[in-house]
Copies of this chain bind each other. A is one copy, B any other.
Amino acid sequence: MRRLRMGMIGGGPGSFIGPIHRIAAELDREIELVAGAFSSDAGRSKEAGENYRIDPARAYPSLEAMLAAEKTRGDGIDFVAIVSPNFHHLPAARAALAAGLPVISDKPATATLAEARELAECVKTAGLPYALTHTYSGYPLVREARARIAAGELGTIRKVVVEYPQGWLAGQASGKQAEWRVDPAKSGPGGCIGDIGTHAFQLAEFISGVKVTEILADLGAVVPGRPVDDDCTVLLRFENGSRGVLLASQIEVGEMNGLRIRLYGERGGMIWKQEMPNTLTINSIDGRTEVIHAGGSQLGPDAMSRTRTPAGHPEGYLEAFANLYRDFAAVLRGQSAPLLPGIEDALRGMTFIDTAVAASKAGKGWVPLTV
């Protein structure tokens, strides 16, 4: 059972998400970073390779160079992880899949819906695994919430409120992380709605187990002159008639990464907050409030298998992320990982962004969400 070999695309010097993917991939020793096309600048790719402490010969100046060289090695990469900005996701995935390599990609799947559709074709044609790192669905208590709702603990879901407040783009965007996110050429037509709104959307469907069928979107650009949205309100209607609200913002000063979700059914309600991810609060209609602890004895098997420490020893963002890579490794080894987001989530997410941006611009009210 050797470790699987990962090649990274993007993640060069100054990248936030590259090192995160590296840690997450390796945390369980299922996977090892061995190669990368970390930057389109050869010198920067080499520098990144040194930072990651990989074999210098495997820090390539381009994606094409990596795919070509790795193919010739007996110990070549088993898959690629795409961590570059959105506009680069499709070309990278297309090339990797064409080279016979499974793909795990940062979200959103692509910059545009058209690209996502092309990506789906590529995945289908290649017949290879594709995964999308909706990090928050990797948290043990998110999986616990999902499992309990699926088991009927809340009764029929009636209402979902998912919020994702951030404040780091409240001023003029500056720095590597911020700049490409507010440039439609690099991020796609969605700003906040694509960067974090999709996370919230995916989480709402993931935990509730029901799909959104209609939305009413009101996206705004609060910071003067910003060409993409930075503050989003989206009303949701689910296939079972449930009502929902999705709030996402990047101009709420002081908010850090405040993703949180509340779900209500006929018999109970649940609350989970990403910044305090190790507790899940469950209320029942008879007035009881129970707190579930990550790593504790009240967890079901799915969540329990995704914790690495006993209750009271906090796990966090990196461990949640690692749970996606663990799932992905399982898939690569021929096992099943039904909770790992894949190409359907990619299409749904991009459809959500596209529909929300278009409907908001046109001042439409409720519109169907049709993938």
Instruction: List residues of chain A with CB under 8 Å of any chain B CB.
Output: 1-3, 16, 19-20, 22-23, 26-27, 29-30, 50, 52-53, 154, 158-159, 161, 165-168, 170-171, 216, 218, 220, 222, 231, 233, 235, 243, 245, 247, 249, 251-258, 262, 264-269, 271, 274-278, 281-293, 295-298, 308-319, 363, 365
Contact = CB atoms under 8 A, between A and B. Distances in A.
A22 B29 contact: yes
A53 B22 contact: no
Given A167-B269, A171-B285, A254-B269, 10 more contacts: A23-B27, A233-B243, A254-B268, A255-B269, A256-B293, A256-B296, A288-B298, A289-B292, A314-B314, A363-B365
Contact of A27 (B27, B161, B283, B296): B27
A9 B164 CA distance: 44
A310 B264 contact: no
Q: Determine how many copies of this chain the complex contains.
A: 4
B313 A253 contact: no
Contacts of A2: 53
A262 to B, nearest CB: 7
Contacts of A216: 216, 218
A287 B277 contact: no
A243 B167 CA distance: 15
B319 A285 contact: no
Given A167-B283, A268-B254, A284-B254, A159 B222 contact: yes
Contacts of A30: 53
Contacts of A256: 293, 295-296, 310-313
B158 A251 contact: yes
B257 A264 contact: no
Contact of A159 (B1, B166, B249, B312): B249
A160 to B, nearest CB: 10
Contacts of A258: 312
| 8 cross-chain pairs, A with B, having the tightest CB-CB distances, nearest first | A254-B283, A256-B312, A257-B312, A287-B297, A314-B316, A254-B269, A313-B317, A289-B291
A123 to B, nearest CB: 29
A1 B5 CA distance: 21
B319 A257 contact: no
Nearest to A163: B161
Contact of A218 (B3, B235, B257): B235
Contacts of A295: 256
B253 A284 contact: yes
Contacts of A267: 253
B243 A245 contact: no
B3 A29 contact: no
A160 B84 CA distance: 34
